[in-house]
Amino acid sequence: MFRVLLQNPNGLRPSITDLEFQFSLHLCHEIGVGAICLAETNLNWNHSQHHASLRCCLFRNWSAAKFQTSVPEEKFLGNYQPGGTATIVTDRWTSRVVRAGTDPLGLGRWSFIILRGKQDINICIITAYRVCDDKYTGPKIAYQQQRHQLASMFCQHNQILPLDPHQQFILDLQAWIADMQTDGTHIILSLDNNEELLPDKGQVLSVQYNPTIPTTHPTHDGSLESLILSTGLVDVLRHQHPAKKYPPTYNRGKKRIDYILVSQTLLPAVCSSGILPYNSVFQGDHWSCYIDIDISKAFDGRTPSISPPCQCNLRLHDPRIVAKYLTTIEDPFALHHINQRVSSLSLKASGKWSPSETETYEWLDKQISEIMLNTESKASSYYTKKFEWSPVLIQTIYAERYWRLMLKRSKGLFVSDALI
């Protein structure tokens, strides 16, 4: 199976010292998640250290990983920036990555990774975050960031239109998905819609895609229902569980606002779907959603792993290892008279070498390489980036999650007894 997990973590702190985030990734590894879709990361991905930290965290659990992040173009000095997404493909599925990218208008509303599927048909995994229809909670919220950028774009093209990033998100995403579908690409859209999906609403409308201009349409209602009808996407959970009463996917809400939608052509390959219990994988104020895809139908069943490149075990940032290396390499160099032989050959470098001198050079090169590799193995400190979670550490993580919920309740926030 190829498992896709959607989660709004309400902010990320990618760090190898953040055991909460590390444990969440460990749980993803344990349940076999192939693609992790994180909406509303609330992190300034323009700071390169966050990419390096996330990469280190991923390699603690998987031997290979590919990720794509998105963030609004508005400049923030600190690490916190509202909005943003991260799409992560793990383990052997990285061998199928074709390309990755973000919202073409630079508003940071979605990120995507395209995988090569069966019969060379692409499968595009999209993680999207739709801002709330709320204009007055602060000047730097994701809604206002997008509103500023959209106003600038409309001004450049002499357009005078109502600025509503909540609706504009649907228009731009629909036009972009429709353009992706022109070559037969299958779509897996994972999004925090911040609005309930009403399947009896919406209308089929065609919109024009332009990667440099926000999409406009005189009669489009800006609803997810219209996007679904116009692009042929299917709400997997509603399709597979039509008679169920769905729980709210937001802790303090009463509606399901998180969705995983797939193309009609990909639907036969989706064998299961569901909503996981609160705090079962990532800690946050949203519940996790997932779908399982039969790899024999979507990927032809054959997905080889990527062998990691051989890495040098010598760590030159540690002066103790460097000193040990230099001391250890002296004895074999002296035993084989390496320095004297090199000096003798260097004096003849300007002239023409005889066959015996060429042979001596080849022998020296081989001998020096063997000595250096042998010395490296003796001086280096071997350690693994992966580690097992002890029962005591796991209990500590769950205790921390419990007290975090109790702290929210003490501040007057609603936290049900079932969640605790």
Q: Per-residue b/e over 362-387, b at no fewer than 16 CB within 10 Å? A: eebeeebeebeeebbeebbeeeeeee
- Both 8 and 79 in one domain: the answer is yes
Question: 């990927």: which residue's tokens?
Answer: 299
Give the side-chain half-sphere CA count within 13 A for 134: 12
Task: Choose among 89, 83, 134, 84: nearest CA to 116.
Answer: 89
306 confidence band (pLDDT: 50, 70, 90): confident
Contact (Cβ atoms closer than 8 angstroms) between residue 293 and residue 4 = yes
- Both 113 and 9 in one domain: the answer is yes
The crossing angle, in degrees rounded to 10, of helices 19-30 and 48-59 is 50
Instruction: Give the domain range for residue 343.
Output: 319-379
Q: 116-130, 147-161, 324-338, 380-394: which range is least confident on average? A: 380-394
383 confidence band (pLDDT: 50, 70, 90): low
Cα separation, 169 vs 150, whole angstroms: 11
Cα separation, 375 vs 330, whole angstroms: 10
48 confidence band (pLDDT: 50, 70, 90): confident
147 confidence band (pLDDT: 50, 70, 90): confident
What is the percentage of the chain residues whose pLDDT exceeds 90? 45
Cα separation, 128 vs 275, whole angstroms: 18
- Both 124 and 81 in one domain: the answer is yes
- pLDDT for 259 equals 95
- Both 134 and 56 in one domain: the answer is yes
- pLDDT for 143 equals 85
Residues 6+ apart with CB under 8 A from 58: 25, 65, 67, 88, 90
The alpha carbon dihedral of 246, 247, 250, 252 has a sign of positive
Task: Choose among 320, 313, 319: nearest CA to 375.
Answer: 313
Cα separation, 205 vs 221, whole angstroms: 10
Q: Is residue 323 one of the residues assigned to a domain?
A: yes
- Both 397 and 328 in one domain: the answer is no
- pLDDT for 278 equals 82
Q: Is residue 279 one of the residues assigned to a domain?
A: yes
Q: Is residue 168 one of the residues assigned to a domain?
A: yes
Say how many domains are in the chain.
3
Q: Is residue 123 one of the residues assigned to a domain?
A: yes
Can you read off the two tokens belonging to residue 310?
């051989």
CATH number at residue 57: 3.60.10.10
- Both 367 and 402 in one domain: the answer is no
- Both 222 and 330 in one domain: the answer is no
Q: 53-67, 103-117, 199-213, 336-350: which range is least confident on average? A: 336-350
Can you read off the two tokens belonging to residue 115?
């995988």
Q: Is residue 304 one of the residues assigned to a domain?
A: no
Q: Is residue 59 one of the residues assigned to a domain?
A: yes
Q: Is residue 313 one of the residues assigned to a domain?
A: no
- Both 210 and 358 in one domain: the answer is no
- Whether pLDDT at 382 is above 80: no
Q: What is the DSSP string of 343-405?
A: HHHHHTTTSPPPHHHHHHHHHHHHHHHHHHHHHHHHH-----S--PPPHHHHHHHHHHHHHHH
Q: Is 290 exposed, middle or buried (0-12, 13-18, 19+ CB in 10 A)?
A: buried
Average pLDDT over residues 264-275: 94
Average pLDDT over residues 230-238: 94
- Whether pLDDT at 317 is above 90: no
Report the 10 Å Cβ neighbour count for 124. Answer: 22
- Both 293 and 341 in one domain: the answer is no
- pLDDT for 162 equals 65
- Both 262 and 340 in one domain: the answer is no
Average pLDDT over residues 128-154: 81
Q: pTM of the entire structure?
A: 0.81
Cα separation, 222 vs 167, whole angstroms: 4
274 - beta bridge partners? 290
Amino acid at 376: E
Cα separation, 176 vs 104, whole angstroms: 9
- Both 190 and 289 in one domain: the answer is yes
99 confidence band (pLDDT: 50, 70, 90): very high
- Whether pLDDT at 29 is above 70: yes
- Both 48 and 160 in one domain: the answer is yes
Helix (H) or strand (E) run with residue 66 in it? strand 65-70
The alpha carbon dihedral of 209, 213, 218, 220 has a sign of positive
pLDDT winner (highest mean) among 16-25, 132-141, 410-419: 16-25
